[in-house]
Structure 1
């Protein structure tokens, strides 16, 4: 199928192009520009009326959405519900995230993800296993008795997924030397998170291939004058990425501004850490048998412990502009191009350019989502058909 989107204000990932036309051929962008003739064989022409067409958002940390928690529903149907819930907020690619849980739940999650990948479920790029190989000292809301040392046969499970990306968050100081290298050699992306290590622990992890820090500042050792900790190691290392939760609750805006200034440009990416309440009318859900409440945009246990976030990517982009004072362009890159590059997909996602996958978001002037396309499919039209 060939589609022409006309009269768009296009953000390519680098610059804005007014009055642009985008030609989509099946799943791929065929042409972008201001003086493009609409092909005779085009199936659909749509005038976007000067709305903003930007690269689709990519979220590498999504625990739930649409009333579903991945930990509670490790099925292809559950994954579909989560992806659909976030699509309305501009997320066209995601890593549904399983937090610390028992081995059978992990097995079921990987199996469900393989089915979703095999079935080309729109927006599913792979899986994020956040735990269970963490440090109990920095457990956050993760259940302490489920946190454990890595099993002898864990490598097979962690590297089992085919055709999609796997991200594993672990505490480097709690895992045997060499395990990060083995995971990376098997194609797994490895992040540090829920970690209480020292600066030297992360230097050793970098040498093995550690490439990311999960929700920077949260559940990790802070930067101190004599011990830089996880935060100091992350900001000091040019080649690693950091996920940032910009919701006004997890990290103070001034702290985030300073971190972004310190880190090499292109290495900070927005994540939501979203829970089941996103895209749902629910104001609570269950995790590990306890109720988690969403109040005024903040997810906590009854005791007030932060438990993920009630945050979507469109709001995260707006918060990055409003709370942190970054340009809209940079906020958009933090939600699209930079996570695409982290996942090794920077040559196919994160830009609106010829040859890239046609995964895009249509925004109004207020930054609210009007429509999304995933690999050339207009998801608004798909929703109407279903």
Structure 2
């Protein structure tokens, strides 16, 4: 049995940040959170005054480490993407497939299954962002890939049997019975890249939609006489919304409004990250087109935003500095709340007894100093 004792830091416990506390880990899981001096057992890990927070969980990762998931549907590619994001505190992620052909979807799902089976650190499941989307709100997606899911599509999209599946779709483009079928087969369904009106969005929520993909982006806005997708998302107390806090995708004031409107715990940080996160190249290829990051903003040739160059540690810092959130709440938005949305809140996202020892140490400037997944650095 391997025992570790984490001590001498600001530790984000269930009560907020605490000092004079230590965390005891055995075989990769937390067995105690103790007040007072650390016990004289196991390996002592001195946090040197850093902040120990739960490992970040990102449900929208298109790529990283120089790799785009659509272009490299293999276990090796997933390991590279996960390593690219690990240095920024992401200890759990859903590799995200942008709308593509059925064969690519099948390979992506198979690769995710194999990565989880082989224990690739950080891979929790898959996010299928499309291809059941609206051409009017396609963003950088290729509308020629879009389709209405039939029974075979639904079976394929929900085929992952050893991890979490999130499916983003446009509720006005998918029959409500198909949304319900996906949910019944274990998928978590989000609305996104959608031109739906308020009534269509409400119908989707009633059919089983529980999330909204990158709120405000690629969806109908909140207006006085037509609340749209954004209005439905902010009104609904039971659904979660993902937000890209990079100062580009959404104005900070709009994000503050969303956080104020939603119940606490229903707003998640996501990156929508592209291959340049954790990689060395500012460009990559999608659908045969070169996509480039300029001054940290990723756009296609038409000028549309094409994902982001954001990492989760930066999203946490931006939530503190741009949105004025306390650090503990920003960290919950990056860890605890995503875990709860994904149905993993009983074992991930908190520093508490019984949870997996997925940790990040932040320095005084909120940059990542160390990370652990299941107690392994």
Q: Same fold (TM over 0.5)?
A: yes
2:255 & 2:227 partners in 1: Cα distance? 16
Q: Count how many residue pairs are aligned between Structure 1 and Structure 2.
A: 376
1:75 aligns to 2:74 (yes or no): yes
- Tell me the equivalent position of 1:24: 25
1:36 & 1:99 partners in 2: Cα distance? 49
Q: Superposed, which structure 2 residues align to 1:195-234 within 5 Å?
A: 195-234=194-233
Contact 1:19 1:50 in 2 (8 A): no
Give 1:93 deviation, angstroms: 0.5
1:81 & 1:224 partners in 2: Cα distance? 42
Root-mean-square deviation (CA, aligned residues, Å) is 1.1
- Tell me the equivalent position of 1:5: 6
Give 1:151 deviation, angstroms: 3.1
| Residue aligned with 1:82, SS | helix
Give 1:102 deviation, angstroms: 0.6
Give 1:39 deviation, angstroms: 5.2
1:90 & 1:206 partners in 2: Cα distance? 32
In structure 2, runs of 5+ residues without a counterpart are none
1:35 & 1:347 partners in 2: Cα distance? 26
Q: Superposed, which structure 2 residues align to 1:221-370 within 5 Å?
A: 221-370=220-369
2:113 & 2:14 partners in 1: Cα distance? 30
Q: List per-residue Cα deviations over 1:105-152 (Å, max 9, x = no partner).
A: 000000000001111111111000000000111000001111111133
2:5 & 2:326 partners in 1: Cα distance? 29
- Tell me the equivalent position of 1:384: none
1:14 & 1:293 partners in 2: Cα distance? 43
- Of 166-175 and 257-266, deviating more is 257-266
2:186 & 2:121 partners in 1: Cα distance? 22
- Tell me the equivalent position of 1:383: none
- Tell me the equivalent position of 1:104: 103
Contact 2:5 2:38 in 1 (8 A): no
Give 1:36 deviation, angstroms: 5.7
2:16 & 2:272 partners in 1: Cα distance? 29
2:50 & 2:252 partners in 1: Cα distance? 29
1:166 & 1:36 partners in 2: Cα distance? 42
Contact 1:18 1:50 in 2 (8 A): no
2:175 & 2:253 partners in 1: Cα distance? 36
- Tell me the equivalent position of 1:151: 150
Give 1:35 deviation, angstroms: 2.4
2:263 & 2:20 partners in 1: Cα distance? 33
Contact 1:17 1:33 in 2 (8 A): no
Q: 1:39 to 1:183 in 2, by over 3 A?
A: farther
The two structures have a TM-score, normalised by structure 2, of 0.98
Q: 1:147 to 1:86 in 2, by over 3 A?
A: same
- Tell me the equivalent position of 2:87: 88
Contact 2:133 2:173 in 1 (8 A): yes
Q: List per-residue Cα deviations over 1:34-59 (Å, max 9, x = no partner).
A: 2265254x2x2221112110011000
2:20 & 2:64 partners in 1: Cα distance? 35
| Residue aligned with 1:89, SS | coil
In structure 1, runs of 5+ residues without a counterpart are 379-386
Give 1:60 deviation, angstroms: 0.3
- Tell me the equivalent position of 1:15: 16
Q: List per-residue Cα deviations over 1:200-248 (Å, max 9, x = no partner).
A: 1121111121100000000001011111000000000000000000111
The two structures have a TM-score, normalised by structure 1, of 0.95
